[in-house]
Amino acid sequence: MNVPTMAEMMAQGKQPEVLFWVGCAGSFDDRAKKITKAFVKILHKAKVDFAVLGTEESCTGDPAKRSGNEFLFQMQAMTNIEVMNAYEVKKVVTACPHCFNTLKNEYPDLGGTYDVMHHTQFLKTLLNDGRISIEGGSYKGKRITFHDPCYLGRANDVYEAPRDLIRKLEGELIEMKRCKRNGLCCGAGGAQMFKEPEKGSKDINIERTEEALEIKPDIIATGCPFCNTMMTDGIKNKEKEEVKVLDIVELIANAQDL
Amino acid sequence: MQYLPNILFAVVLIFGITFFARNVKKLVRNIKLGKSVDRSDNSSLRWKNMIKIALGQSKMVRRPVSGLLHIVVYVGFIIINIEVLEIIIDGLFGTHRLFQNYLGAQLYGVLIGIFEMLALLVFISVIIFWIRRNVINIKRFLNKEMKGWPKNDGNFILYFEMVLMTLFLVMNATDTPFQEAGIGNVVSQYLVPVFSGFTESTLHIIERGAWWAHIVGILIFLNYLYYSKHLHILLAFPNTYFANLNPNGQFDNLGSVTNEVKLMLDPTADPYAAPAEENADALPEKFGAQDVTDLNWVQLLNAYTCTECGRCTSVCPANQTGKELSPRAIMMKTRDRVEEVGKNIDTNGKFEDDGKTLLDTITAEELWACTSCNACVEECPVNIDPLSIIMDMRRYEVMEKSAAPQELNMMMTNIENNGAPWQYNQMDRLNWKDEE
């Protein structure tokens, strides 16, 4: 795959339109890497002039901050800001709502002010500008529900961009009982992804998966690599593997056989 | 002797108001025990939020049944207070239904008619509230933090309101001239038959008794507020005004940490340099919150504003799946501890170490169960932010006590060493582009 880095761009004296912040999950997690690649395919198709930081990218510090380790968070943040400012980054897009929230809201205070977009917002602008088209393909008529990531939805009030994209797939967008502002967390946020849950009667991702299965979807669409993991685990646990858990960019890329 | 009732009334009124003012002073002092945080910005948006959320009840009606009932009680409370103004003036000057002279019988009748209708609606709503709390098993009223005083407190408030509304209607029903005039007695006329066998003088005694009990009851209720969750009827307004305006996902960056991190990352900094002169004697700032005095004043205002409705807890993913965490309990424990610290100051003149902290009642298990999903923050009808308290206490756990769960320590070590929460080499970050 042709994925230019900021360093390569700079060597050629070029400044890309947008920095694609891949994030740790998108870089290392096997499931999330597929989301990353699907997004890159769409960027290529739309002829977006983008670059990544590659080995110069480092964790935004989100899980450290939500764990209460403000030191580690700010160390990460300032290191990343130094790198991005050196490349004179203006616009950032990321497929991870946790990176999105941290970069957008918590970096400016520390000297890193960028125009940060979640990939669903970015795709929406590409669509509006006529740079991409979205077809239903094999998803035409499928029942698709969207699981709102907390750090995109309640944390930043982005509810419509992902839904607008799903509607373009000509599927049937169905909503879970708790959605948008009332959406139930998948259980991964606040650094829960990296630890066992406290003792209780049920795991949160099971609760959420059951709620999704109630409305009998063909596809559970996600917009966050961590939600994706949690919902995929939930589906496995419920032995309902005929229900697919896919990121919105995967749906768009698959529909066009990219 | 003829002024005895007026004097007695003035004494009762002054006593009631003075006692209340004393508690308000204490309340303000306790809230100011919190650290400073600047909420003086964007006052136009803040006013707008207060008008929409507190006055306009916009977030209450997200749950239509309790929301609409609440509006009835709330509107009733505010409007019937116009009548209380008349009662106070009548009481002080020995007049009777003074406003009637000024407004004319017709308009006065319409007003009292509205008050009576509202009194009836409030009474009915309060009965439904009582049934919701005590008969129907609504989960959020049954959580474990709602045992004992919090449960009784909720019911006492409802009993208070039932009694006050009844007294108001009885007062009107036994006011013979008022009933004979027949204007505005839209509800109380149906109570008249109850008192049909009574003599004129007995009726007068009942009317006076109800009048006195009504106003004394209101003064008692006013003074009950400070000891009760019902304080929200006042604090909802400042609380929505001073609430956070940033996106919910934005957590504050600790300034004290920023300075140290900058020093660490600055290659020219001298690590052995003496601290700057003016700060040499200052205590190093504590990271995060161990006790209520480490929280900011808005968080303490939040705690006093909480009316324990439990909407936060009912949407909390951790609580719904049986974990210990309840955002409402976080607020209740915070308030209990501020009160304890306040009493300590009352007794000792200043705070004497009592060997206790907020972390004694809010456990690590609760703190670590939070997913930081913001459901509680979004749900609160008066914009209370339990999440900020949880995060501040996590900061103390991690940065002061080094007491993070083991797996989180591993995650943080990974971030420190290789820039990712897992054990992957940062040099492999772009490998995905060449993988199939």
Question: In this predicted model, what pLDDT tens digit does every residue of A206-221 receive, in sequence order?
Answer: 999 999 999 999 999 9
pLDDT at B104: 87
User: What's residue B273's pLDDT?
Assistant: 67
Distance from CA of B152 to the nearest CA of A (A): 28
Task: Please determine, for residue B355, whether its predicted confidence score (pLDDT) is greater than 80.
Answer: yes
Please determine, for residue B276, whether its predicted confidence score (pLDDT) is greater than 70.
no
Partner-chain contact A66 B372, CB within 8 Å: yes
CB contact under 8 A, A70 and B287: yes
Split at pLDDT 50, 70, 90, the class of B8 is very high
Q: Which residues of B touch A155 (CB under 8 A)?
A: 247-250, 374
- Percentage of chain B lying above the pLDDT 70 cut: 96
Cα–Cα distances in angstroms (integers) from residue B66 to residues A251, B364, B370, in the given order? 41, 33, 27
What SS3 class is residue B270? Answer: coil
- What is the pLDDT at residue B120? 96
CA B139 distance to own-chain centroid: 20
Q: Which residues on A lie below 8 Å from B397 (Cβ)?
A: 68
CB A225 within 8 A of CB A25: yes
So what's the pLDDT on residue B279?
A: 55
Taking the Cβ of residue B281 and every Cβ of chain A, the question of whether any pair is shorter than 8 Å is answered with no
Q: Which residue of chain A has the CA closest to B257?
A: A71
Of A5, A185, A194, the CB nearest to B421: A194
Contact check, Cβ <8 Å, A67/B428:
no
CA dist B290 and B288 (Å) reads 7
Judged by CB atoms closer than 8 Å, whether chains meet at A58 and B420 is answered as yes
Return the residue matching tokens 């080094």: B402
Q: What's the mean pLDDT when you consider all of chain B?
A: 93
Q: Tell me which H or E stretch contains A219.
A: strand A219-222
Q: Is residue B241 over pLDDT 60?
A: yes
Q: Are B371 and A204 an interchain contact pair (Cβ–Cβ within 8 Å)?
A: yes
Sort strands A143-146 and A91-94 into parallel, antiparallel or unpaired.
Answer: unpaired
B393, B13, B42, B3: which is closest to B246 by C-alpha?
Answer: B42
CA distance A51 to chain B (A): 12
- Taking phi first (over 0 means left), then psi (-120 to 50 degrees means alpha), and beta for anything else, what does residue A200 get? beta
B285-334 pLDDT per residue, tens: 789 999 999 999 999 999 999 999 999 999 999 999 999 999 999 999 99
- Per the CB < 8 Å rule, is B262 touching A78? yes
Q: What are phi and psi of A172, to 5 degrees?
A: -100, 110
Interval B46-60 mean pLDDT = 97
Distance from CA of B405 to the nearest CA of A (A): 8
| Whole-prediction pTM | 0.94
| B324, B368, B416 ranked by CB distance to A72: nearest | B416
Q: Is the pLDDT of residue B282 over 60?
A: no
Chain A residues in contact with B370 by the CB 8 A cut-off are: 190
pLDDT class of B100 with cuts at 50, 70, 90:
confident
B435 — contact with chain A (CB < 8 Å)? Answer: yes
Interface of B with A in 347-366 (CB under 8 A): 365
Q: Nearest residue on chain B to A68, judged by CA atoms?
A: B395
Residue B101: what pLDDT? Answer: 86
**Residue A3 C-alpha, separation from nearest chain B C-alpha, in angstroms:** 7
Interface test mutation site (partner B, options A6, A28, A180, max chain B beta carbons within 10 A): A28
Distance from CA of B311 to the nearest CA of A (A): 12
The alpha carbon of residue B57 is apart from the nearest alpha carbon of chain A, in Å, by 18
Tokens of A21: 């912040």
Q: Flag if A150 and B398 touch (Cβ within 8 Å).
A: no
Q: Select from B257, B317, B408 the Cβ nearest to the Cβ of A191.
A: B408
- Whether A204 sits inside 8 A of B420 (CB atoms) is no
> Using a CB-CB distance cutoff of 8 angstroms, which residues of chain B are in contact with residue A110?
253, 258
At B347 the pLDDT is 96
Nearest-angstrom CA–CA distance, B330 and B335: 9
Please indicate whether, in this complex, the C-beta atoms of A197 and B260 are within 8 angstroms of each other.
Answer: no
Least confident stretch, A164-173, B262-271, B380-389: B262-271
**Phi, psi at residue A91, to the nearest 5°?**
-130, 135
CB burial of residue B208 (10 Å; 0-12, 13-18, 19+): middle
> Quick check: B117 pLDDT over 70?
yes
The answer, yes or no, to whether residue B281 has pLDDT greater than 60, is no
Predicted confidence (pLDDT) at residue B1 exceeds the cutoff of 60 = yes
Tokens representing B45 are: 């948006």
Set of chain B residues whose Cβ sits within 8 Å of the Cβ of A7 = none
Q: What pLDDT score does B228 carry?
A: 96
Tracing tokens 């003829």 back to the chain, one arrives at: B2
Range scoring the smallest mean pLDDT among A91-95, A193-197, B177-181, B240-244: B177-181
Contacts of A82 in chain B (CB under 8 A): 265
Q: Which of B58, B245, B251, B390 is best to mutate for the A interface (most A CBs within 10 A)?
A: B251
3-class DSSP assignment, residue B354: coil
Q: In the predicted model, is pLDDT for residue B284 greater than 80?
A: no
Work out the average pLDDT over B173-187.
91
Does residue B417 belong to the interface with chain A, where contact is any CB pair within 8 Å? no
Query: What backbone phi and psi angles, to 5 degrees, belong to A244?
Result: -95, 140
- Decide if B278 touches A, using CB distance below 8 A: no
CB pairs under 8 A between A and B: 220
Longest dimension (CA), chain A: 57
pLDDT value for B366: 97
Residue B275, pLDDT above cutoff 60: no
The answer to whether the Cβ–Cβ distance between B420 and A59 falls below 8 Å is yes
Residue A232 has pLDDT above 70, yes or no: yes
Q: Please give the pLDDT value at position B265.
A: 81
Find the CB nearest B369 among A68, A74, A198.
A198
The verdict on a CB contact (< 8 Å) between A68 and B397 is yes
Q: Least CB-CB distance to A105: which of B247, B315, B433?
A: B247
Question: Across chain A, what does the average pLDDT equal?
Answer: 97
Query: d(Cα B360, Cα B181) in Å, to the nearest integer?
Result: 63
pLDDT recorded at residue B2: 78
Share above pLDDT 90 across residues of chain B, in percent, rounded to a whole number = 82
Contact A21, A57 (CB under 8 A): yes
pLDDT band at A152 (very low <50, low <70, confident <90, very high): very high
pLDDT digits (tens, 9 = 90+) for A107-129: 999 999 999 999 999 999 999 99
Q: What is the pLDDT of residue B186?
A: 94
